[in-house]
Structure 1
Amino acid sequence: MVVPSLLAVAIAALMSALITWISRPLLQRYALARPNARSSHRIPTPQGAGIAVIAATLVVASAWAAWVNVAIPPALVIATVVIALVGFADDVVSLPVLVRLVLQAACVGAVVVTAPDDARIVPTLPLVLERGLIVLAGIWYVNLVNFMDGLDLMTAAEVVPVTAALLLFGLLGELSWPAMLIATALCGAMLGFAPFNKPVAKVFLGDVGSLPIGLLLGWCLLELAWRGQPAAALLLPAYYLADSTITLFRRIARREPFWSAHRSHFYQGATDNGFTVPRVVGEVFALNFLLGLLALGIISAGSAAATSLALLAGAIAIGFILWRFSRHQGF
């Protein structure tokens, strides 16, 4: 199974790179992101290449699923396409916040509600309550992936190590087949997009990419939690969760319009404090690699003590990076 997985990664990467290269002139004309006071880029840059990432992910995962006779939930595929269209519309003509949230909630809700009733994280909770909390968490996760896509290669530095870890967990039998297929294809698609997004980026993902990536990645992590590994599922995206959630509460405490674009995230502050973009994304990638190893330790050990130690180590590592990013020029 290792060889087919690597082949799927390579095919998704080639497909993503080809579609990105072909679509870039059109995006340059119709979906140009112009820099403003809150931007990290300095020159007008086309956005919307997430079309390539999502297309490659869905095509490769669906083809592989058909080959091995595995069913990817139709609700997930449909919701991914719909949320990508919402993102594309927002890239071209900005949509009202309420409209975006309602459509995102509908997509996340459709995926969660159609899941089997025996897919549980906390069986002692009423099913309706647990699913409601998952929908809220899913909406937040979709948006935080979008919020964190504010620096060249940042999303690649998050998605590639997380999906690679999910692929490994799938090979170890700790993740469902459909989730492993999605994670594998998404890993390859992001690798194919990365050369176009390295500093200084030639093209951005745009909301058409970051929103459905959040949905697909969130679903894969949810599948991992449903398979009895909630701690590992929490640890893998923990840096994104920490940076976004802390930033959100800080903005609320300051009575700032937290729903509007800003440059308040720790990774954005790092560039203001003298960190280069490659250094920021490099440290985020290394942190995510470490979190993947800690998650693997949780799964391999299978004990409460190992889980506690891994979560503590992850929290310390994340806190250290956030502290570094908030200090002038690091050390």
Structure 2
Amino acid sequence: MNAAVDALGALPSLLAVAIAALVSAAITWTSRPLLQRYALARPNARSSHRIPIPQGAGIAVIAATLLVASAWAAWANVAIPPALIAATILIALVGFADDIVSLPVLVRLVLQAAAVGAVVFTAPETARIAPALPLALERGLILLAGVWFVNLVNFMDGLDLMTAAEVVPVTAALLLLGLLGDLSWPAALIAAALCGAVLGFAPFNKPLAKVFLGDVGSLPIGLLLGWCLLELAWHGQAAAALLLPAYYLADATITLFRRIARREQFWSAHRSHFYQRATDNAFTVPQVIREVFVLNLVLALLAIVTVRAGAIAITLLSLLAGAIAIGFVLRRFSRTQAS
């Protein structure tokens, strides 16, 4: 038992983050020539770039995450659900195929639902968020939420370093909660490895990006991140699980409903997200990323406060503070930046 605790302490966690970063950076570097030849992302209605950029570096991020997390889990005698590993590989393959040949929307959704469903419906029956609901209904709602979360992470990956500005603060907070004993170790391991892998990818994606994640990266990142947040909710910390990704949830969901209300083809490529509109309103890409990163740090702090305080009043105040902070940033992004 002591050996397992030692293998899951702060120092091994930082080492895992560093190793995942190095592995991710090495694979990204070596794969760039192939991606340049076979997987160019050409500018479209959704793009923020003006020239073709190689995409598909998500292969490096996901490979580094799974390799490091699996090796660390084996060393520490921690079980990462096999369904999660299989589902991550499946959804990465779906993303890779879509990066190359552009799959039909229905095919993508069915395969994504299969991957999310494999994770959700193989979880223990004791893993509950709302025990008052029938298990089948709760799992069905989680499935729908999971498919939406996977896609919104993909939708929000439309600006250089945007995914890093989201994933790094969220996974760092999840790792800290794991170290504090408020999150299962399998989820903490995945969070640590994913944090490192995204950090390793980030230098290649900083403005102006040399390479993009592609769907092969954003979709499985959404699945892994969503599972970690679900584990947090299953541990009785639903408020924290909501606060951590709250900016992504707000930007993507509000944008979706606005497009539906306008009777637009909401499933087609667009530039209606708040962060995209910010660049049209004279914000530079570094400004947008900086504000999103700081906002996510605030949300991560509020999430940790709700977990550690354990008081309903503190939780409600943290949720309110998070909503106000998100509203402030979204409002800024919606207005033209003063020159």
**Range of TM-score over shorter length:** over 0.9
Read off the aligned partner of 2:131 and give its amino acid letter. P
- Aligned equivalent of 1:197: 205
- Aligned equivalent of 2:4: none
Aligned equivalents of 1:38, 1:242: Cα separation in 2 = 19
1:209-288 to structure 2, matched below 5 A, reads: 209-288=217-296
Aligned equivalents of 1:179, 1:300: Cα separation in 2 = 18
Change (3 A) 1:330 1:179: farther
Within the candidate set 58, 61, 71, 2:66 is matched to 58
Q: Kindly provide the CA deviation profile for residues 222-276 of structure 1, in whole angstroms up to 9, marking residues without a partner as x.
A: 0000001000000000000000000000000000000111000000000000000
Contact 1:324 1:330 in 2 (8 A): no
Q: Kindly provide the CA deviation profile for residues 84-122 of structure 1, in whole angstroms up to 9, marking residues without a partner as x.
A: 000000000000000000000000000000000000001
Write out the 4+ residue segments of structure 1 that deviate beyond 2 Å after TM superposition: none
How many angstroms does 1:330 deviate by? Answer: 5.5
Contact 2:46 2:158 in 1 (8 A): no
TM-score (norm 1): 0.99
- Aligned equivalent of 1:34: 42
- Aligned equivalent of 1:141: 149
After superposition, the CA RMSD in angstroms is 0.7
Q: Kindly provide the CA deviation profile for residues 171-227 of structure 1, in whole angstroms up to 9, marking residues without a partner as x.
A: 000000100000000000000000000000000000000000000000000000000
Contact 1:84 1:212 in 2 (8 A): yes
1:1-331 to structure 2, matched below 5 A, reads: 1-329=9-337
Contact 1:232 1:299 in 2 (8 A): yes
Contact 2:69 2:189 in 1 (8 A): yes
Contact 2:278 2:333 in 1 (8 A): yes
Percent of pairs with identical residues:
82
Contact 1:275 1:330 in 2 (8 A): no
Aligned equivalents of 1:37, 1:235: Cα separation in 2 = 31
Aligned residues: 331
Aligned equivalents of 1:65, 1:292: Cα separation in 2 = 25
Contact 2:45 2:269 in 1 (8 A): no
Aligned equivalents of 1:89, 1:25: Cα separation in 2 = 19
TM-score (norm 2): 0.97
Structure 1: state its 5+ residue gaps: none
